[in-house]
Amino acid sequence: MIRRLSIDAKAFCDRLRLRARGGRGGRGAVAWDVTNRSRGRKAAGGSGGTGGDVVVRVVAHKDALDATRRFAIGEDGGNGGPSMRRGRDGPPTYVDVPRGTSVNGTVLHRPGEQIVVARGTKGSAGNGVHRGLKFGLTESALPGDVLVDLEMTLAADVALVGAPNAGKSSLLKALSRAEPKVAHYPFTTTHPVIGIVEFENESELDVVRVLDVPGLLEGAASGKGLGDDFLRHVARCASALHVVDASCDDPVSDLEAVRGELLNFGLDMPFRVLLSKSDLVAPERLSELEGALSHYDVSVASTMSGEGLGAAALHLRRLAHASRDHAIDAAPARQRGGTGSSPLDGDAGRRPPL
């Protein structure tokens, strides 16, 4: 059974430069205790607390980087008090990212993994730390800014690719609660949009993330129509579903053109083929197209009539499972068994075809 998640579409952001700064330590206190056993005073000022760190962590519910966030500043530590009371430490400031995010070249894979990118400074000492100190207390050091490059190495399980107006956005809208722009003219999608399809049965709950990429033109791999940017998004997906308009003049040529652009960009990943808009094509023509594409795994669907949508969803699920199994088999044993981070793999997302 397919259950749609109540998650709206969002503009997709998979690369971000963040300016981080740890919190400033608190000020030490100048205080004195007067005791009955001495005629003098005893220095009793506590030290300031340590400033909070800025921490990048992986959370399960994130699908993209937060494009509106450009700064992250740790909370300042508390000031020291009398009677040797130390100021409180500033709590950490978290920057939540999706799994598979590279943080200055170090990839965080699993939910809960985290890395400190900017540390808070220590608080200054109170006069009670060095007994008898009456003056000369220093301010805590001022933290410096740190530039953090965040980049997703895995954007989604499946990318929807195809020529302009092939029906990718309509398919995503039919299978998820994503709301991409749909119209009867090319290039209605101007930026990648992510949607989520959830499968549920008695024994498991499975989520497949699907990325709708704007239509690709011939020459996209060399930058035509911002195609190199769009293909960069595809490179961060584990597999691809080629959506081909069955009602166009030459669907086979359209498919081969898009396949060629992916290969020219160095993307060789698991894929299937979906002939869309089947309601506009005679059954004889559909059979002819399926025969011409028999060397691929081909399915047929129509978002207008609903025919074949269930099978299309299952194909997305199989693609996601196949790519996940391949990633597990290809991963080094030390990474499969470990909990730490690994260096960024420059070929992440590139897979052999099924």
Task: With H, G, I as helix, E, B as strand and everything else as coil, classify residue 238.
Answer: strand
Percent of residues, the chain, with pLDDT higher than 70 = 73
What 223-230 contacts at long range (C-beta under 8 Å, 24+ apart), as own/partner pairs, is 227/261, 228/265, 230/192
Torsion sign across C-alpha atoms 8, 243, 323, 287: positive
Please tell me which of 31-35, 133-137, 144-148, 215-219 the model is most confident about, judged by mean pLDDT: 144-148
Cβ–Cβ < 8 Å for 317, 206: yes
Query: Domain total for the chain?
Result: 2
Q: Looking at the predicted structure, is the pLDDT value of residue 115 above 50?
A: yes
Whether 72 maps to a domain, the answer reads yes
Which of residues 113 and 179 earns the better pLDDT score?
113
Please say if the pLDDT value at position 178 is more than 70.
no
Query: How far apart (Å, rounded) are the C-alpha atoms in residues 233 and 294?
Result: 28
* CATH number, domain containing residue 270: 3.40.50.300
Answer yes or no: do 291 and 171 share one domain: yes
Which of 152, 172, 202 finishes a domain?
152
Determine the structural domain holding residue 115 and report its residue range: 16-152
Q: Report helix angle 309-330 to 168-175, nearest 10.
A: 90
Q: Which of 123, 152, 181 is the last residue of a domain?
A: 152
SS3 content of the chain, % helix, strand, coil (to 5): 20, 25, 55
For the ranges 68-77, 222-231, 334-343, which has the lowest average pLDDT? 334-343
Residues 142 and 191 in one domain: no
187 has pLDDT over 90: no
Per-residue model confidence (pLDDT) at position 229:
65
In a domain, 238, yes or no: yes
Which CATH number belongs to the domain containing residue 72 in this structure?
2.70.210.12
Same domain? 121 vs 181 = no
H helices of the chain, where? 168-175, 227-235, 251-264, 283-292, 309-330, 333-337
* 142, 192: one domain: no
273 & 193 share domain: yes
Using pLDDT thresholds of 50, 70 and 90, give the confidence band for residue 6: very low
In this predicted structure, the answer to whether residue 292 has a pLDDT above a threshold of 60 is yes
Distance of CA 290 to the CA centre of its chain: 36
> Does the pLDDT of residue 92 top 90, yes or no?
yes
Q: How confident is the model at residue 114 (pLDDT cuts 50, 70, 90)?
A: very high
Answer for the pair 74, 53: CB distance below 8 angstroms, yes or no. Answer: yes
Tens-place pLDDT, residues 312-321 = 888 888 888 7
Mean pLDDT of the residues in the chain? 76
Q: Express as a percent the part of the chain with pLDDT over 90.
A: 21
**264 assigned to some structural domain:** yes
278: tokens are 């089947």
Dist. CA 61–CA 41, nearest whole Å = 57
* pLDDT above 90: residue 118: yes
Residue 325 in this model has a pLDDT that exceeds 50: yes
Cα(22)–Cα(146) distance, integer angstroms: 9
Q: What is the pLDDT of residue 35?
A: 66
168 vs 36, residue with greater confidence: 168
CA distance 189 to 195: 14
Q: Which of 40-54, 83-97, 146-160 has the highest mean pLDDT?
A: 83-97
Find out whether 135 and 217 touch, Cβ atoms under 8 Å: no
Band (324; pLDDT cuts 50, 70, 90): low
Q: What is the mean pLDDT of residues 64-80?
A: 89
pLDDT band of 191, cuts 50, 70, 90: low
Average pLDDT of the segment spanning 335-340: 39
Shared domain for 145 and 163, answered yes or no, is no
Predicted confidence band at 49 (pLDDT cuts at 50, 70, 90)?
Answer: very high
pLDDT of residue 33: 80
Which region among 15-19, 111-115, 205-209 has the lowest average model confidence (pLDDT)? 205-209
Q: Which residue has the higher pLDDT, 133 or 173?
A: 173
pLDDT of residue 266: 85
Q: Would 353 be classed as within a structural domain?
A: no
- End of a domain among 152, 174, 204? 152
| pLDDT of 201 above 90 | no
Specify which of 58-62, 92-96, 166-170, 323-327 reaches the highest per-range mean pLDDT: 92-96
pLDDT for residue 281: 87
